């Protein structure tokens, strides 16, 4: 009897903001580890999601959406996304089936021309368009880049994701199991908790607020003798006026952020949570390298 061949490797998810990269990774690993929002530039870090099966192990890198940066933070986000292209075994270039080719897509394909990594074109959100619209769109992209595979999917509904998974495994080299079979991310719980809180801020605020917010978990500790975890977190924003909006009238908005976040954190940790939220102002933190490092955003060298 021949020994089973185990495939493993790193797969980068790349694309313009809001094309469904985080939705796809969460679907693949079977649990929410990357936050989702209809606002651009939701993902700020390179988040690793791990999928393990009998065939092998895939480590997904969910990268920040590529966009024209307007701050030091924006520059770091774009650099983080671009730098993954040479460091992985496969690139999944996600596009939105309901939109045409834009400058952002052309910029990404120009960068893909510079690397030797195989690239799959993943046409997401096919549930939003008529099938007759797909072929002309795919042809437009194929004329601009030699994709190894083209896979139409709906990450939200799971349509055709099993086909994509099989094609990914076929592309990956034979290799070791990098992570334990039950591990779905290599980020610490504090990071995921902070991201879940930030997601609720994104859901409940508008205009400049979502992009001016960072979340730092100051403390996570189990209360003695009780099935209860105390979580103390600080929401950082850039201006006093934004702090007032985040707190809301008589604390109403902050309470709603806490309520929604607590429910998801309890599901994540499998325990009751006491969530203590504070809002602090750190002026223009997105352009201050000291603050960016403090909040977990670093430049990839």
pLDDT in tens, 99-130: 989 888 998 898 888 888 999 999 999 999 99
Torsion of CA 235, 237, 243, 246, to 10 degrees: -60
Give the mean pLDDT of 130-152: 94
**Domains within the chain, CATH numbers bracketed:** 7-171 (3.40.50.300), 189-294 (3.30.300.20)
pLDDT in tens, 129-140: 998 999 999 999
- pLDDT (0 to 100) of residue 195: 80
Distance CA 269, CA 192 (A): 10
Residue 262, classed as helix, strand or coil, is: helix
Q: How many degrees, rounded to 5, is the angle at CA 137 between CA 88 and CA 9? A: 15
Q: Which two tokens stand for residue 60?
A: 């997904």
- pLDDT (0 to 100) of residue 143: 94
Distance CA 166, CA 71 (A): 39
pTM above 0.75, yes or no: no
């Amino acid at each position: 009897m021949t020994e089973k061949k185990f495939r493993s490797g790193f797969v980068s998810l790349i694309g313009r903001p809001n094309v469904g990269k985080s939705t796809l990774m969460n679907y693949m690993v079977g649990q929410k580890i990357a936050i989702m929002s209809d606002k651009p530039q939701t993902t700020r870090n390179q988040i690793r999601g791990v999928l393990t099966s009998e065939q092998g192990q895939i480590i997904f890198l969910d990268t920040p959406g590529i966009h024209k940066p307007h701050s030091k933070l924006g520059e770091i986000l774009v650099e983080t996304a671009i730098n993954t292209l040479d460091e992985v075994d496969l690139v999944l270039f996600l596009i939105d089936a309901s939109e045409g080719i834009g400058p952002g897509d052309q910029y990404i394909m120009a960068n893909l021309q510079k690397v030797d990594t195989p690239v799959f074109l993943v046409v997401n959100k096919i549930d939003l368009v008529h099938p007759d619209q797909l072929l002309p769109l795919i042809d437009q992209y194929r004329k601009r880049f030699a994709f190894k595979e083209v896979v139409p999917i709906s990450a939200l509904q799971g349509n055709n994701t099993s086909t994509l998974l099989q094609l990914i495994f076929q592309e990956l080299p034979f290799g070791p199991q990098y992570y334990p079979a039950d591990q779905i991310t290599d980020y610490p719980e504090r990071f995921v908790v902070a991201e879940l809180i930030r997601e609720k801020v994104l859901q409940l605020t508008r205009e400049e607020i979502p992009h001016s917010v960072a979340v730092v978990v100051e403390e996570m500790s189990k209360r003695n003798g009780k099935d209860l975890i105390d979580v103390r977190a600080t929401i950082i924003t850039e201006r006093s006026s934004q702090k007032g909006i985040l707190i809301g009238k008589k604390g109403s908005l902050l309470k709603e952020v806490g309520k929604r976040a607590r429910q998801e954190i309890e599901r994540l940790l499998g325990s009751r949570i006491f969530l203590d939220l504070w809002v602090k102002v750190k002026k223009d933190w997105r352009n201050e390298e000291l603050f960016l490092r403090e909040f977990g955003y670093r430049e990839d060298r």
